[in-house]
Amino acid sequence: NFGIDLSFCCFLRFDETKEGEVVRHDGKRSDGYLEHIFKHAAKELFGMDVKEITYKALKNKDFQEVTLEKDGETVLRFAAAYGFRNIQNLVLKLKKGKFLYHFVEVLACPGGCLNGKGQAQTEDGKPDKALLNQMEEVYAAIPVRLPETNVRVQRLYQDWLEGMDSKKVQETLHTKYSAVNQTASNLDIKW
């Protein structure tokens, strides 16, 4: 089980990846892309080098928040929401206009990807904590490489997307959202 982070997605053939070439982004687990984005945003937007981030659990361990303060003001507010209950709560806040976050990492599995139903579980379906810890240790041992320094990603931007700030980048990787008129239907999901 693995996830693909679309913001720096690179299309590779598996036979092109050599042993020892596997790298990861910042974060303690495979679902920790929030950490890389947070550090990158702090540096690019506010000139601050963040070495370590601190997650603050809110309603439960699967709904956490990370903030960056500058001159006593919160300038970045990120959240990690794992599991459908937390995702549902975020959607409700968004609908009510009480959404405070600049970025949210959302994963369907409570506890994140490594804790998903296809992963580390005992025969009775409960999480296998020893195996989960072992998988996290193996992941943490993989060298960190920032996605923006990856030669293949740079080549993708140059060759396919015609540069970092091209019109094609805007059309391909960015989107705009607008309100949609709701029609009443029995098939509507009530979040």
Q: Residues 26-45: pLDDT tens digits?
A: 666 655 688 888 998 999 99
pLDDT at 8: 38
Please give the share of the chain, as a percent, with pLDDT higher than 90: 18
- How far does CA 75 lie from the centroid of its chain? 19
Span 80-103, pLDDT tens digits = 888 888 889 888 888 888 888 999
Q: State the DSSP H helix or E strand holding residue 130, giving kind and residue range, or none if neither.
A: helix 129-141
Q: Which of 30, 81, 77 is nearest to 60 (CA)?
A: 81
Predicted confidence (pLDDT) at residue 66 exceeds the cutoff of 90? yes
pLDDT of residue 9: 36
For residue 112, the model assigns a pLDDT of: 66
**Domain map (residue ranges) of the chain:** 21-111, 143-173
Give the 3-state secondary structure of residue 41.
helix
Q: Which CATH number fits the domain 21-111, given the four candidates 3.40.950.10, 2.40.50.100, 3.40.605.10, 1.20.120.1200?
A: 3.40.950.10
Nearest to 79 by CA among 94, 71, 70, 19: 94
